[in-house]
Amino acid sequence: MACFFRRNIASKLSNALGQSEETFISSLFAIPVSKKQQSSDFRLSVNSLLQNGSFSSADDTQTQTEALVQRLKPDNVVEEISVGCGVINFKISRTVLAEKILEKIHNDGHLFGVRSELFSSLQKGRTLVEFSSPNIAKKFHAGHLRSTIIGNFIANLKEAVGNDVIRMNYLGDWGMQFGLLGVGFQRFGSLEKLKVNPLQHLFDVYVWVNKEAESNECIWLAAREFFRQLEQGEAQALSLWQHFREISVEEYQRVYKRLGVHFDEYSGESFHQSQAQGVLQQLQQRGLMKTTEKGTGVVDLSSAKNMSFYSTVMRSDGTSLYITRDIAAAIARKEKYAFDEMIYVTDKSQEGHFQQLFGILLAMGHEWTQSCRHVPFGLVQGMKTRQGEVVFLEDVLDEARTRMLRNMKESRTTKELEDPEDTAEKVGISALIVQDFKGPLVSDYKFNWDKVLQAQGDTGVFLQYTHARLCSLMRMHGGDAEAAFDPSLLQELGSIAMLKHLLRYDEVLHRSLQDLQPKHLVNFLMTLCHLIATAHRTLPVKGSPAAQARARLQLFRGACTVLANGMRILGITPVEMM
C-alpha cells in the first residue's frame, strides 16, 4: 500500500540526495484519479526539495531536477520516474500496485491505512474529547446532535490511529434551571409520568414552570430558595436533583446507543460547583481577578491590560458562572486523566467562551492549555419532524427511521430483510451523518429530509447501498477471501483507478487528523463509491473467465474493506443488505 510505495521512493531519494527517508515520506503525495488518464501515481514537489535543503536555491532548479531524475533508477516496483511541471512523477508497476495494495488490505483488515508512517509526527498519547453535552430538562437541539456525531467522529479517528481516547459528556446539570425544575416538579410533577417518559416529563415541567414564573413572583422566590438548598447540599433537594440526573442519563444512554455512541464519563457542571470556588480564590490570590463597581469578578485578558477583552467569572453574590465551572472542570480533568490533548466540540457561538477559557487557564500558568482545542460547528436550519420542532434526539432518529423504511418499501431493489427497521435505522443515521459531514463543519446548512435520504447523489444512503451491493457480490461469488489471484489481470482503467484511489486512504485520514474535518474522508468515500459503481458495470464478475473473476472479486473485496473502515470512523455502521 501507500506506505510500501512511499518507502521505496523515499529510499531512492535518500540514496541520491543523502538525506533520511523520513525527510521525503510526508512530501510524497498519491495523485488523485482524474478523467484525464495519468501515467503516474505519486508526485514530489520540487519546492519540498528546496525547502528541505536537497536542492540549492542558488542553482537552476530545472537542471537540478533533471539531474536528479537521471540518477533515480527505475526498478520493478517504480517503473517510471519523470520530470513534470514543478514536480517529479513516479509510476508504480501495475501488477505490483494491485498485488501490494490488495495484499495489505487483506492482511491489515480494519487496521488498513491507520498505521501509516504519515501519522508519526502527529500528537499521540491520550486524547480527551468532550462532546454532546446536553442540558438536562432543556431541548436537545440540532446543535447537540451535531456535537454528538462530530465528537464521535473525532474520537473514532483518534482511536483508529492508536490514541488512547476518553469520551466525555459534560452535562448541563447545574444552575438556576434546577431551582425552577425542583419547584415545578413539587407543584406539577408526577413520579409516574417521570418513570414512563422521563425526558418528556422533565421538559414539560420545565416549560410549565418557566411560563408560570413569568406572571408569578412566588415561583421565582421558591426557585431561588430551592437552588440555594441545592448549593448548600441539603439532602432532600439534592436527592430530587440526583433522581432527575440519573433518569436523564439512563435515557440519553439508550438513545446514544441507537446512534452507536458511548461515553466513558458523564461529567457535568455540578461536579465542579465546589471546585469553582477554589478557582475564584486562586484567581484572587494570583491577582488575576478584579472586582468591578457592581461587585462582579472579572479577569482582564487583553494584552494591553485595558479591559478591551475580559471575562466575568463571578456574580456579585459571589457565585460562579458557566466559565468558572469550565475552568475548574479542565483542571480536574487534567489531574484525573493526564491527557496529552483535549478537544471540545460545540457550536460556533461558544468560540468566544473557549477563547476566554483558554486565556484564563494560560494566565493561571497551565501550560498544557496549549494542547486544548475547540472545534466549532455551524447551525442547522429547519430540522423538523412530523411533530414539529425537534425537542428530543430520539424524535430525529425515529423520523429518519420511518422515512427510510418508507423509501425502502417503495424501492424495487430492496431485499427481503430480516429486520427492516434496524436496517432503516442504520441507513437513516448514516444519511444524517453524511449530510452533516459533507462541508466544512463551521458552515451553517439547511436541513431537508428528502435531500438527506436520497438514494442517488452523494448521500449516506448511497454509501450504504454501495457497501450492501459489494457484500451481496461476495455472498454470491466470493466465498474464499484467501483465494490466490493473478494481479496482472487487474489492468483495465476501472481497476487501476480504484487501486490508485485506495492508495490515498492514509493521506486522507492524515488531512482529517490535522484539521479534524470529516469532509476529506466523506469525499474520499464518495469517490470510491462512484468508482465502484463504474467497476460494477465495466468489470463483471459473473460470466468472466474464472481467473479474471477471482482477481476482480479480490479487488471488490479490498474496496469493500476500505469503505467499511472509513464508514466506521465516520460513526456509520455499514449494513450488509438493504
Least distance between ligand ARG and beta carbon 326 (Å)? 5
Taking the C-alpha atoms of residue 435 and residue 459, their distance in angstroms, rounded to an integer, is 7
Q: How many CA atoms lie within 13 A of 377 on its CB side?
A: 28
Binding mask 147-186 for ligand ARG (x = CB under 6 A): -----------------------x-x--------------
Place of cell 496549549: 370
Residue 41 or residue 326: which is nearer to ligand ARG going by CB?
326
Residue 268 or residue 518: which is nearer to ligand ARG going by CB?
268
Least distance between ligand ARG and beta carbon 143 (Å)? 7
Total residues interacting with ligand ARG, rule: CB under 6 A:
8
Query: What does 248-267 look like in DSSP terms, one character per residue?
Result: HHHHHHHHHHHHT---SEEE
Asked if 339 is part of the footprint of ligand ARG (rule: CB under 6 A), the reply reads no
Asked if 344 is part of the footprint of ligand ARG (rule: CB under 6 A), the reply reads yes
> Binder to ligand ARG among 156, 346, 464, 512 (CB under 6 A)?
346
What is the end-to-end Cα distance of the chain in Å, rounded? Answer: 31
Residues 6+ apart with CB under 8 A from 52: 19, 23, 24, 27
Query: What does 291-332 look like in DSSP terms, one character per residue?
Result: E-TTS-EEEE--TTSSSSSEEEEE-TTS-B-HHHHHHHHHHH
Asked if 133 is part of the footprint of ligand ARG (rule: CB under 6 A), the reply reads yes
**Which of 130-138, 289-297, 386-394, 474-482 is the region at the interface with ligand ARG (rule: CB under 6 A)?**
130-138
Taking the C-alpha atoms of residue 443 and residue 146, their distance in angstroms, rounded to an integer, is 12
Least distance between ligand ARG and beta carbon 151 (Å)? 10
Q: Could you tell me the three cell numbers for 216?
A: 408569578
Taking the C-alpha atoms of residue 380 and residue 395, their distance in angstroms, rounded to an integer, is 16
Taking the C-alpha atoms of residue 491 and residue 497, their distance in angstroms, rounded to an integer, is 10
Spot the catalytic one: 12, 91, 100, 141. 141
Residue 325 or residue 403: which is nearer to ligand ARG going by CB?
325
If one counts every other C-beta atom within 10 angstroms of the C-beta of residue 516, the result is 18
Active site residue 144: yes
Asked if 130 is part of the footprint of ligand ARG (rule: CB under 6 A), the reply reads yes
Torsion of CA 353, 356, 361, 367, to 10 degrees: 100
Helix-helix angle 420-437:235-259, to 10 degrees = 100
Least distance between ligand ARG and beta carbon 147 (Å)? 7
Taking the C-alpha atoms of residue 275 and residue 273, their distance in angstroms, rounded to an integer, is 6
Of 423, 494, 422, 499, nearest to 464 by C-alpha is: 423
Residue 153 or residue 505: which is nearer to ligand ARG going by CB?
153
Least distance between ligand ARG and beta carbon 28 (Å)? 39
Least distance between ligand ARG and beta carbon 47 (Å)? 41
Residue 104 or residue 146: which is nearer to ligand ARG going by CB?
146
Of 41, 4, 113, nearest to 497 by C-alpha is: 41
Residue 244 or residue 449: which is nearer to ligand ARG going by CB?
244
Number of helices and strands in the chain (H, E): 22, 16
Amino acid at 546: A
Least distance between ligand ARG and beta carbon 146 (Å)? 11
3-state secondary structure of 52: coil
If one counts every other C-beta atom within 10 angstroms of the C-beta of residue 269, the result is 23
3-state secondary structure of 80: strand
Q: Is the dihedral of CA 458, 461, 463, 465 positive or negative?
A: negative
Residue 320 or residue 346: which is nearer to ligand ARG going by CB?
346
Least distance between ligand ARG and beta carbon 62 (Å)? 54
Least distance between ligand ARG and beta carbon 501 (Å)? 38
Strand partners, 514: none
Residues 399-418 that bind ligand ARG (CB under 6 A): none
Residue 41 or residue 395: which is nearer to ligand ARG going by CB?
395
Residue 79 or residue 326: which is nearer to ligand ARG going by CB?
326
**Which of 129-137, 148-156, 477-485, 525-533 is the region at the interface with ligand ARG (rule: CB under 6 A)?**
129-137
Per-residue 3-state assignment (H helix, E strand, C coil) for 360-408:
HHHHCCCHHHHHEEEEEECCEECCEECCEECCCHHHHHHHHHHHHHHHH
Phi/psi for 316 (5° steps) reads -70, -20
**Which of 70-78, 96-104, 128-136, 434-442 is the region at the interface with ligand ARG (rule: CB under 6 A)?**
128-136
Spot the catalytic one: 124, 138, 193, 348. 138
> Binder to ligand ARG among 300, 326, 341, 395 (CB under 6 A)?
326
Active site residue 141: yes
Asked if 135 is part of the footprint of ligand ARG (rule: CB under 6 A), the reply reads yes
Residue 343 or residue 564: which is nearer to ligand ARG going by CB?
343
Asked if 112 is part of the footprint of ligand ARG (rule: CB under 6 A), the reply reads no
Asked if 99 is part of the footprint of ligand ARG (rule: CB under 6 A), the reply reads no
Least distance between ligand ARG and beta carbon 316 (Å)? 23
Catalytic residues: 138, 141, 144
Return residues touching ligand ARG (CB under 6 A): 130, 133, 135, 170, 172, 326, 344, 346
